[in-house]
């Protein structure tokens, strides 16, 4: 990722943070709409899960400028996801739900440059997670 992409991701996430509860609900609604097969992997009461999602995103987004420092946390997260039943093929639909949520949450702030920055960030991090969790490289697309 370029420094400009990191800046765009961080600035756009700062604009989503005030609506984090709504954004998290939108994300999971969209995820379950496009990939209903993943719904059983989640608890019935999603309040805590939504909070965890936004907290994890905040850590990752804030750490993008020093990616090597957050890689151990990303790797640990990937390993935990395997225990929850996540599979490598879930990563692309999660990415699609995330990008959709950001587009809706940012409205006019969702520019081509912001979309490209978020796509690059998600592809980079999900590739690390997939490699860690399943010991094989795979594109998130």
Task: State the average pLDDT over residues 54-66.
Answer: 93
Give the residue ranges of DSSP H helices in 17-134.
20-34, 47-63, 67-84, 90-106, 112-134
- Domain membership of residue 140 (yes or no) is no
Q: Give 86-99 pLDDT, tens digit per residue.
A: 899 999 999 999 99
71 — pLDDT class (breaks 50, 70, 90)? confident
pLDDT at position 3, please?
95
Q: Which residues span the domain enclosing 108?
A: 3-134
Residue 141 falls within a domain, yes or no? no
Residue 38 lies in a domain: yes
Does residue 22 belong to any structural domain of this protein? yes
Domain annotation covers residue 139? no
**Residue 104 falls inside a structural domain:** yes
- Residue 141's pLDDT is what? 44
Number of domains composing the chain: 1
- What DSSP designation does 119 have? H
Alpha carbons within 13 A on the beta-carbon side of 18: 5
CATH number at residue 12: 1.10.490.10
pLDDT level of residue 135 (50, 70, 90 thresholds)? confident
């Amino acid at each position: 990722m370029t420094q400009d992409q990191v800046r765009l991701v961080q600035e756009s996430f700062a604009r989503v943070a005030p609506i984090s509860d709504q954004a998290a609900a939108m994300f999971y609604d969209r995820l379950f709409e496009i990939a209903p097969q993943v719904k059983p992997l989640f608890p019935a009461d999603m309040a805590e899960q939504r909070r965890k999602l936004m907290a994890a995103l905040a850590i990752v987004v804030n750490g993008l400028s020093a990616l090597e420092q957050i890689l151990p946390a990303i790797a640990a997260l990937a390993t935990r996801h395997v225990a929850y039943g996540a599979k490598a093929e879930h990563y692309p639909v999660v990415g699609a739900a995330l990008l959709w949520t950001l587009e809706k949450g940012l409205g006019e702030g969702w520019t081509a440059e912001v979309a490209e920055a978020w796509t690059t960030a998600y592809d980079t991090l999900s590739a690390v997670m997939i490699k860690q969790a399943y010991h094989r490289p795979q594109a998130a697309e």
